[in-house]
Structure 1
């Protein structure tokens, strides 16, 4: 949603005070602390119940009982160091599905995608690598998406970035794994910097892009890949898909849905003028007089994607924003009064949710007023599992993006 004064210089959000909004979201985000991950040198989390527990000695377990892990370990840069690690993994009946090496002078970070027996405890995997000369070992559970080889994955990210300016933050997140990405306005630096768990890259749109990943440091190889994506974006300039979808509303009015950007600022301001104080207040949760000031920020492709709805007369009558909020995703809607209750909000939210799923988001949340029953009904219309958090009249509704498709419209 729209920014408050403190957050407006960094990312789009609501005008709900940041500590309050974070308090409302806290219960929903606690699960992140329990996700399987590790820090250098720390024991790895348990992988779950051991399927072999209680089985008589010598009785084989299920042949298909395996687990996928992404693992990093640091070894000395000397002949035979990688061979010792690979031999230790082979001795533990661990398959190496993919391997990348990140040279660091006298050390090398080896990154593996492993298929292990489900009975292999993660702390045993760490001890196995430590005994083979590895240190600062880190691991997290992987899934089938990680099976794509790195060159193919990077080429795919480059292709998506070439089509759409809004893809750059998402491409960086997919390239670098679990991380937080922020676009920071201001002067654009001449070159980027790598400082342990933080990358700072010149933003072709102005300012800089800050990438943080506290659970494992970035390597020079990762920095070079990220810098190459940013340079590609800079060379191609601003761009967005030009698709226009015709839609006939239930009442019979034809409208057009398309991507919107900063070039739509004037039309969006005109729509604000046609909206009531109540509608603007429900959307921006702050002084209505400040609503116009949020639009340029919200329309920027660096902070997400925006869908616009145009009438047959060419007037912009609704906006739907999908905003990248760190490692979370927010959806926000504004429909002009004369066009409300015609199915536009539901259609926009359905499309925004689909875009979020395509971008790899695990959930989408909307911040609204507890009295805004229309927005709650629109979220319920998605047919997805919902979580509700209420704090001092502010309601955060979070939809979990299950593998199943969103509800048909």
Structure 2
């Protein structure tokens, strides 16, 4: 999630104005969406008519589909019959009653030849309205109640999990944290949810074109209430990293309590190192730390020396549908593999969070960061603009066993 005021002026990790970077990422996201064709607004917008042709043996696709039907006898049955006629398996179904209407949400397995536009038309032809179809994956095969309990467990263990849990719960949506007075109960307004943020202000969740249901609002509110009751928390796990000279440093999660140590790290770094990290005036570097260390905006890893000083920070920041990774390593500790070790761990976190990609913003002359991205062994995309380089790594999804 990103603070509204900050988002208008700065990038999520660097704090430096990057309007061109937003444009580059928007173009890249549009290209991926066009290639994947994984979100479709409904019937009548291209695609072949459904013909029931099965794909090659074993070739199927998972989709999440949602449609609204009138609350009357046989309405759901008509939808199910239409799907069965085209060899579509219903793997799970959730219903959201809305008085005289019901929103039905399906997890479907279809022949690979059945296009999503055609699937949306099937739902409409069976009496549904506002049909929406988007790509699903193996994570969605987990039993619904078990998945919600898993999200609650993740939220209970780590404050930084709340925005990710909300996104997993509600599907494709944007989540941002807005400062100000915290509303008493929150509100549901069509395609927008406003929830009280336990950290202050409110959490705004938006999902264009697909209104939230009271059931979804209640589930989201319950997750936020759980987070509020438990207070701030960070996993205590610590890893040892042995450097080439034999000394061991510690890698652990960091939070707002590490602000003093992070400021001291800044004070020991050269102006060049800070400039490479923040891409803006060095004098402003300290002002970014409180935002970067907040669990509401991502996750931070810290590297501690044997004497307990912070010598490096790695940030993983939620940036809409994308995720930014950023590194800062004190000059005296560079070229020892610390940055690469941090980046690997941040990338693993992003993969576990079901992020599709991780990007790093750096200067074209920063060969260490470029080498660390290449060291991930992942497909990379490079975008260069006025000496600034954006390197994006495409992530393979984490393996999840089906039920």
TM-score (structure 1 length as normaliser) = 0.90
Aligned twin of 1:214? 208
Aligned twin of 2:255? 261
Structure 2 residue 29 is the aligned partner of structure 1 residue 29: yes
The structure-2 alpha-carbon separation of the partners of 1:22 and 1:293, relative to structure 1 and needing over 3 Å to count, comes to: same
Aligned Cα RMSD in Å? 2.5
Structure 2 residue 361 is the aligned partner of structure 1 residue 361: no
Kindly indicate whether the alpha-carbon contact (under 8 Å) linking 1:271 and 1:316 is maintained by their aligned counterparts in 2.
yes
Runs of at least 5 residues in structure 1 that lack an aligned partner in the other structure: 53-59
The structure-2 alpha-carbon separation of the partners of 1:389 and 1:120, relative to structure 1 and needing over 3 Å to count, comes to: closer
The structure-2 alpha-carbon separation of the partners of 1:269 and 1:47, relative to structure 1 and needing over 3 Å to count, comes to: farther
- Is the deviation greater in 128-137 or in 250-259? 128-137
CA deviation vs aligned residue, 1:134-186 (integer Å, no higher than 9, x gap): 11111123222211121111000000000000000000111111111111222
Aligned twin of 1:389? 383
Kindly indicate whether the alpha-carbon contact (under 8 Å) linking 1:323 and 1:330 is maintained by their aligned counterparts in 2.
yes
Structure 2 residue 314 is the aligned partner of structure 1 residue 320: yes
Aligned twin of 1:57? none
The structure-2 alpha-carbon separation of the partners of 1:330 and 1:77, relative to structure 1 and needing over 3 Å to count, comes to: same
2:277 is aligned, of 265, 272, 283, to: 283
Tell me the distance in 2 between the aligned counterparts of 1:357 and 1:124. Answer: 31
2:41 is aligned, of 35, 39, 42, to: 39
Tell me the distance in 2 between the aligned counterparts of 1:197 and 1:45. Answer: 27
Tell me the distance in 2 between the aligned counterparts of 1:170 and 1:13. Answer: 18
The structure-2 alpha-carbon separation of the partners of 1:61 and 1:203, relative to structure 1 and needing over 3 Å to count, comes to: closer
The structure-2 alpha-carbon separation of the partners of 1:30 and 1:124, relative to structure 1 and needing over 3 Å to count, comes to: closer
Structure 2 residue 325 is the aligned partner of structure 1 residue 350: no
Tell me the distance in 2 between the aligned counterparts of 1:199 and 1:44. Answer: 31
Tell me the distance in 2 between the aligned counterparts of 1:122 and 1:284. Answer: 42
1:169 is aligned, of 155, 163, 175, to: 163
Aligned twin of 2:66? 72
Tell me the distance in 2 between the aligned counterparts of 1:283 and 1:155. Answer: 38
CA deviation vs aligned residue, 1:208-245 (integer Å, no higher than 9, x gap): 11111114221111111111100000000000101111
The structure-2 alpha-carbon separation of the partners of 1:42 and 1:323, relative to structure 1 and needing over 3 Å to count, comes to: farther
Listed as ranges, the matches of 1:96-245 within 5 Å are 96-245=90-239
Kindly indicate whether the alpha-carbon contact (under 8 Å) linking 1:68 and 1:115 is maintained by their aligned counterparts in 2.
yes
The structure-2 alpha-carbon separation of the partners of 1:115 and 1:3, relative to structure 1 and needing over 3 Å to count, comes to: closer
Tell me the distance in 2 between the aligned counterparts of 1:371 and 1:3. Answer: 30
- Is the deviation greater in 3-12 or in 349-358? 3-12
* SS of 2:355 mapped into structure 1: coil
TM-score (structure 2 length as normaliser) = 0.91
Structure 2 residue 13 is the aligned partner of structure 1 residue 19: no
Q: CA deviation at 1:379?
A: 1.1
- Is the deviation greater in 4-13 or in 314-323? 4-13
Q: CA deviation at 1:402?
A: 2.7
Kindly indicate whether the alpha-carbon contact (under 8 Å) linking 1:36 and 1:45 is maintained by their aligned counterparts in 2.
no
- Which segments of structure 1 move beyond 4 Å, counting only runs of 4 or more? 2-6, 8-11, 44-48
The structure-2 alpha-carbon separation of the partners of 1:4 and 1:278, relative to structure 1 and needing over 3 Å to count, comes to: farther
Kindly indicate whether the alpha-carbon contact (under 8 Å) linking 1:172 and 1:226 is maintained by their aligned counterparts in 2.
yes
1:333 is aligned, of 324, 327, 335, to: 327
Tell me the distance in 2 between the aligned counterparts of 1:313 and 1:389. Answer: 40
Q: CA deviation at 1:126?
A: 3.2
* SS of 2:354 mapped into structure 1: coil
Tell me the distance in 1 between the aligned counterparts of 2:48 and 2:135. Answer: 11
* SS of 2:296 mapped into structure 1: helix
Tell me the distance in 2 between the aligned counterparts of 1:179 and 1:353. Answer: 22
Tell me the distance in 2 between the aligned counterparts of 1:318 and 1:307. Answer: 8
Aligned length: 396
Kindly indicate whether the alpha-carbon contact (under 8 Å) linking 1:25 and 1:389 is maintained by their aligned counterparts in 2.
no
Runs of at least 5 residues in structure 2 that lack an aligned partner in the other structure: none
The structure-2 alpha-carbon separation of the partners of 1:33 and 1:146, relative to structure 1 and needing over 3 Å to count, comes to: same
The structure-2 alpha-carbon separation of the partners of 1:176 and 1:277, relative to structure 1 and needing over 3 Å to count, comes to: same
